[in-house]
Chain A
Amino acid sequence: MGRAKIDPITLSTVWHSLISACREMRYNIERTCQSYLISQLHDISVGIWDAKGETVAVPIGLPSQYLGGKFSVQYILNKFRKNIYPGDVFLNNDPYKGYCNHLPDWGFFRPIFYKDRLLFVTLARGHMVDTGGAYPGGYFPNAYDIHAEGLCIPPIKVFEKGKEQKEILELIWNNVRWPEAVRLDNYSLIASTKTCEDRILGLVKKYGEDTVLACVKEMKNRMEKAVRSEIAKIPDGTYSGEAATDDDGTELDVQVWVRCDITVKGDELTIDYSRSDGQRKGFVNNVFMTTYSRACASLFLFMDTSLAEYHNEGSMRPVKVVMPEGSVINAKYPATVGASPVCVGVQIMEATATAFSKALPHRAIAGWGRHRGHYIFGMDPRIGERYVQTTFDSDGSAGAVYGYDGYPGAATFNALGSVTRGNAEEVEIRYPWRIVRYEFAKDLMGQGKWRGAPGTEWEILNEGGDAAIATGSSDGDVTQAPGQFGGEPTPVSIADIIRGEERTRLKSHRMAQLKPGDRIQKHSAGGAGVGNPKEREPEKVLDDVLDEFISVDVARVKYGVAINPQTMAVDWEETRKLRAVS
């Protein structure tokens, strides 16, 4: 290929067009799929890689679903080599063959050709309503091995040269619950990759393939340069962080630890997870790709924010990620991985963010409220059909960062706010459950100079028949997400099943039976804090009291701010005394 000349304007246009193509894919999936989890909660990721499998555009998604997608793309290109054609679509969900996340996250890959030359590969990955296995949904503790968790699909062609491979898809759909629903969602994801192809071909026709490829090369080089200069600003040295999940779901009440050591040298750095716990029997194991994805996502958070939208392969070049095989952050077949996005996955982000916070204190980032998810499955007596229900509604909110309080409502550190919550009205129409309460909780966040966003009080009532609940996608009854520089960690969370007068604690990574009339009640922690709470402006503390985010007691004890409960004004003299003590 001749060296195509590119001007800054073409570069900028190509760069933004590739990012826009990803956003459009996501929008189209939301508009056309039928899954509550995908359309309303956005448990989806999309991206674009080049013909070498290098990362080109990854603007939005859940990091572990796609950020390390280059490994999947390279695996597919390698496996199929000369047997890849325009109009092909590959399906893959296997963490051990094709570098995927946990099994419910099905990825559809489309190679994009221009005149028989492979230019790019695009991916649309979404969490399917079901993926087979012992129980619906994909988050079930105590599976014997990965095969018990669901269908393991290595990269296979589901479309070849534009022709649907009907028998293969039929086999797959025949082995999941709600096959018609899964079928529709598969088409929705596949259609979005077609849209991406249309957009890219439009770009190539307009500017020429050499120009577009030259732009992609330049995009990567510019990001590399920018990220290197950011890393160079960090003092050389080693910075550490650690975080734990409650347990692995099989060996109960034994915490599982992720430990991270970041060594900075000049404009490069190594993120080393070697001191983390070994591979577990339970379903919290992460695999190479997901750990790599989270290491990169954590790094991006600490770079100049004007780069945030543009990260690509160049951002990953100065980074080396070290993880010993056979450990909880790089598990070997046939280890179970069902809960890995939420448990250990989140901890990888927390431990890495803690280490980076030490390296870059003015960009400190505290942990978010842990995911307080669940899967409920039962019969909907209104229509006589089975259902499976999951949610982000019962999550707390974001942690603080240096300079700002946590973002209210944003759900799970693992998704960085790329997922959304549902509407109570939608939930009540779709599922035989009534939402009794869904609002912020008082005093349920990590306090700090910048405090975490509030936690959540959430309660629902079973108006359907007998059902079961699995809390594999939940964490934080025992362990806490870290605060930074004197900011408090997230408080612990609590969940109960209430049956008449009887209240039973429902811990994470467990299963329980539910009866009609049962209530599930969750008090879910908000985010962690940054900085010493005693340094928070008293006016802001008063505002929080007036808004009933915190109590007068917490204002006094933790913030050293005295508020007169009669006048609801700051008692300045008393406040000075309280703050002088510490």
Chain B
Amino acid sequence: MYRACIDIGGTFTDCLILDTQGSLRAFKVPSTPRDPAAGMLNGLAVAARGYNKKPDDFLRQIDLIVHGSTLATNALLTGRGAKVAMLTTKGFRDVTEIRRGYRNVRTSMFNLFIPPYKPLVPRRLRFPIEERTLYTGEIVTPLNDGEVRQAIGKIKEAGVEAIAICFLHSYANKANEDRAAAICREMADGLYVTSSYQVLPIWREYERFSTTVVSATIGPIASRYLNRLGDSLKQQGFKGSLLMVQANGLVETPQESIRRAVYLLGSGPSAAPSAAAYCGRITGKDHLISIDMGGTSLDVSLIRKGEIPMTTECWVGDERVAIKMVDVHSAGAGGGSIAWVDSLGLLRVGPQSAGAEPGPACYGKGGEDPTVTDADLLLGYIPADYFLGGEISLDVDLARKAVQKVADRLRLDLLQAAQAIHTTVNSFMADSITEISTKRGYDVRDFALIAGGGAGPIHGPALAERLGISTVIIPRFAALYSAFGMFAMDIGRDYARSYHSRVDRVSLEQVNRLYDEMELEAQAAMKSLKMPKGEVNLARTAELRYVGQFHEVEVPMAAGKLTEHHVKEAVAKFHKRHQELYTFSMNFRAVEFLNFRLKATARKAAFQLEKIAQGKKKPEGSLKRRRTCIFNGKSFNTPVYDGERIRAGNVIRGPAIIEEQATTVVVPPAFECSADRFKSYILRKRK
């Protein structure tokens, strides 16, 4: 049997297949944005050919497909989500438009010249319904069924695709939301219906409602796509499980992904940190900075002690999404990012991107703005004749013409300008890394940089040099980074229960009961995901805070039956973690529990990366040619190696270029690069 991990991005669909021997093979086909399912089936067909099988035979032999897609993120960011109506508590119609007064989400407070926020659900489609629940869970006003029915009438006339039911305090009692949902399903069969309790059963209505509306905006799209994909796969003979990568770095069935569609945000990028953690393990590093640099965006994450970082503070575009997500920081920096000069006379790169259309100037598809790729080409880093294995030939003259525009404004010569663009985008990327490391109190020099994505291996080493990072790892599947992450990540689910109690008054019986409940649920769910029993790993955590605070800190909890001792242990960990995060702790202050969490994961499918042949220290026979490359303003006659001929144990001294099929590895003069037996390139700063 085979396993497949498939990541559908804007430009390429990446397929990684694991065979019965435990070996991985990579296949890359163009994406088909109008019908992504077709792109996936095409990818599988290409893979089938690779194994000399007929597509339906091959599909029958796949027992698991793990799938990530930027569908949800793109729908939200490009405003192509579904048309949504909202049923909400009377008197609270505008929670998602007032949005707690947030104005300066991405703008300076001194910039008033920004368009007003446009809510996903316009006011005319937000229907106030008579009903009210209190924070105690008591229902003081039962649901007015008549008003719900009336609203649904109008909703149907308006041509809406989804209904989001958002009532106050539904986290404490979901009865009114459930009742309204039942009426919606009865009257408006075929519409996507979701409620705030279902999406995020946590207090604070703005965050809950906003997340619910986002979920409803994605829901119908996810539903159409996943149903169609499921049908097509079935038709072609697929009998295994299809699991979707979730924002939280776990996976879910298509059915559950449709129900809580907001979790499809970041599906794809959320797998990248797992790729990094894996590469870290095989190279013996557990403090890692992962970058995934593609055409338009850069996804960065920081991994400490091998742990995938999580956050609940996300904004996606202009929307607050309060679910717990893998903390992947995205910034507008990629190969297509455009260079420009601002009114302070400073060179800037991005966030505007030339994208795939028209693409960088050197693509010759009509782009005239200078991009990072144009600069990289002029600096000699990427080959004009072997970009993506020769699929796209690059035009050096067009790149020159474009970069010259910035050169003139900065009064620099052409190559200086190209160098400045390269350095500026690296500096911007360095800021993004600083954002998740230095800014959070971690010294970047303690980390190894894992560079994935098409442009990652070109910029990673220079970026590391700038940040003072001494080791860069370029994984074998750098160009299929997220798909590889899907193999490397845990397959599982997470659970949470709220129980608000001071630590000195907590009922251990209650806590034990909550964990027991969650563990039973988890075992049952893992069974339904077809995970063998006994291979499920259960990890507990708890969230605590000082009495009076508004935010909590998560710490690990012991397994098994909990005693006083375990509570004390958790409190000690809390003080310590608070100190680490915020430079102080308060032993004199009472501490309280808020939530108890459980994460259930199955043991991953065993796979091994195929080893490459052992070679000598000298990379004999792999020198392809030489060309002039510019490093820090100096020209070097640089050797260019053929990646296909590199052997384990080869050591290449910078400056050097290694041309791989889907990417180019740039080894700056200060680095030395060695290939390991799994064909990861490990670049170390020379002493």
Q: Could you tell me which A residues sit within 8 Å of B by CB distance?
A: 8-9, 11-13, 16-17, 20-21, 24, 28, 30-34, 36, 39-40, 59-60, 180-181, 184, 187-188, 190-191, 194-195, 198-199, 202, 206, 222, 226, 297, 300-301, 303-311, 363, 365, 392, 395, 397-398, 401-411, 415-426, 428-429, 434-440, 453, 456, 459, 546-549
Q: Which residues of A contact B441 (CB under 8 A)?
A: 195, 198
Task: Beyond the given A184-B586, A194-B584, please list 11 additional residue pairs across the A-B interface where CB-CB is below 8 A.
Answer: A30-B550, A300-B110, A303-B110, A408-B97, A416-B103, A417-B102, A420-B102, A421-B100, A424-B168, A439-B98, A547-B124
Q: Which residues of B contact A297 (CB under 8 A)?
A: 110
Contact B98 A409 (CB under 8 A): yes
Q: Which residues of B contact A222 (CB under 8 A)?
A: 344-345
Number of interface residues of B (CB under 8 A): 69
Contact A438 B115 (CB under 8 A): no
Q: Which residues of A contact B101 (CB under 8 A)?
A: 392, 395, 409-411, 417, 419-421
Q: How far is the CA of A33 from the CA of B115 in the complex (A)?
A: 33
Contact of A417 among B92, B109, B115, B549 (CB under 8 A): B109
Total of A-B residue pairs, C-beta within 8 Å: 222
Q: How far is the CA of A60 from the CA of B103 in the complex (A)?
A: 12
Q: How far is the CA of A304 from the CA of B346 in the complex (A)?
A: 15
Q: Which residues of A contact B109 (CB under 8 A)?
A: 59-60, 308, 415-418
Contact A408 B117 (CB under 8 A): yes
Q: How far is the CA of A9 from the CA of B111 in the complex (A)?
A: 25
Interface membership of chain B positions 105-127, coded 1 if the CB is closer than 8 angstroms to chain A and 0 otherwise: 00111111111110000111000
Q: How far is the CA of A168 from the CA of B347 in the complex (A)?
A: 50
Across the interface, name the chain B residue whose C-beta is closest to A422.
B100
Contact B110 A424 (CB under 8 A): no
* A39-B439 contact in complex given A60-B104, A408-B97, A422-B100, C-beta closer than 8 Å: no
Q: How far is the CA of A176 from the CA of B438 in the complex (A)?
A: 37
Q: Which residues of B contact A453 (CB under 8 A)?
A: 116
Q: Which one of B248-256, B423-431, B509-517, B621-629 is at the A interface?
A: B423-431
Q: How far is the CA of A87 from the CA of B17 in the complex (A)?
A: 57
Contact B91 A365 (CB under 8 A): no
Contact A301 B168 (CB under 8 A): no
Q: How far is the CA of A21 from the CA of B431 in the complex (A)?
A: 12
B644 at the interface (CB under 8 A from A): no
Contact A9 B427 (CB under 8 A): yes
Q: Could you tell me which B residues sit within 8 Å of A by CB distance?
A: 91-95, 97-104, 107-117, 122-124, 134-135, 168-169, 203-207, 342-347, 420, 423-424, 427, 430-431, 434-435, 438-441, 443, 468, 546-551, 578, 581-584, 586, 589
Contact A198 B92 (CB under 8 A): no
Contact B583 A195 (CB under 8 A): yes
Q: Which residues of A contact B123 (CB under 8 A)?
A: 440, 547-549
* A439-B589 contact in complex given A8-B346, A191-B583, A311-B110, C-beta closer than 8 Å: no
Across the interface, name the chain A residue whose C-beta is closest to B431.
A16
Closest 7 CB pairs of A and B: A417-B103, A34-B548, A308-B108, A409-B98, A437-B91, A547-B123, A308-B111
Contact B424 A9 (CB under 8 A): yes
Contact A425 B114 (CB under 8 A): no
16 A-B residue pairings within 8 Å (CB atoms):
A13-B427, A13-B431, A32-B578, A32-B582, A32-B584, A60-B104, A300-B110, A306-B344, A404-B114, A409-B100, A411-B101, A423-B100, A423-B203, A426-B204, A440-B97, A459-B91
Q: How far is the CA of A191 from the CA of B441 in the complex (A)?
A: 13
Across the interface, name the chain A residue whose C-beta is closest to B115.
A404
* A305-B111 contact in complex given A30-B551, A404-B116, A437-B91, C-beta closer than 8 Å: yes
Least Cβ–Cβ distance between B586 and chain A, in angstroms? 7
Least Cβ–Cβ distance between A552 and chain B, in angstroms? 14
Q: How far is the CA of A453 from the CA of B431 in the complex (A)?
A: 35
Across the interface, name the chain B residue whose C-beta is closest to A438.
B92
Across the interface, name the chain A residue whose C-beta is closest to B548.
A34
Q: Which residues of B contact A406 (CB under 8 A)?
A: 116
Least Cβ–Cβ distance between A522 and chain B, in angstroms? 13
Q: Which residues of A contact B203 (CB under 8 A)?
A: 423, 425-426, 429
Q: How far is the CA of A28 from the CA of B583 in the complex (A)?
A: 10
Q: How far is the CA of A183 from the CA of B435 in the complex (A)?
A: 30
Contact B111 A408 (CB under 8 A): no
* A195-B582 contact in complex given A307-B344, A417-B101, C-beta closer than 8 Å: yes
Most chain B CB inside 10 Å of its own CB: which residue of A36, A188, A311, A392: A188
Contact of A301 among B112, B115, B548, B578 (CB under 8 A): B112
Q: Which residues of B contact A28 (CB under 8 A)?
A: 581-583
Across the interface, name the chain A residue whose C-beta is closest to B169.
A425
Q: How far is the CA of A40 from the CA of B207 in the complex (A)?
A: 13
* A187-B586 contact in complex given A423-B204, A425-B203, C-beta closer than 8 Å: yes
* A307-B98 contact in complex given A187-B584, A425-B204, A426-B203, C-beta closer than 8 Å: no
Least Cβ–Cβ distance between A43 and chain B, in angstroms? 12
Contact of B113 among A206, A363, A418 (CB under 8 A): A363
Across the interface, name the chain B residue whose C-beta is closest to A190.
B584
Q: Which residues of B contact A440 (CB under 8 A)?
A: 93-94, 97-98, 123
Contact A306 B343 (CB under 8 A): yes
Contact A206 B468 (CB under 8 A): yes
Q: Which residues of A contact B168 (CB under 8 A)?
A: 424-425
* A436-B91 contact in complex given A306-B343, A416-B109, A547-B124, C-beta closer than 8 Å: yes
Q: How far is the CA of A458 from the CA of B92 in the complex (A)?
A: 10
Contact B110 A20 (CB under 8 A): no
Least Cβ–Cβ distance between B93 and chain A, in angstroms? 5
Contact A403 B113 (CB under 8 A): yes
Contact A365 B112 (CB under 8 A): yes
Contact A191 B582 (CB under 8 A): yes
Contact A546 B583 (CB under 8 A): no
Q: Which residues of B contact A16 (CB under 8 A)?
A: 431
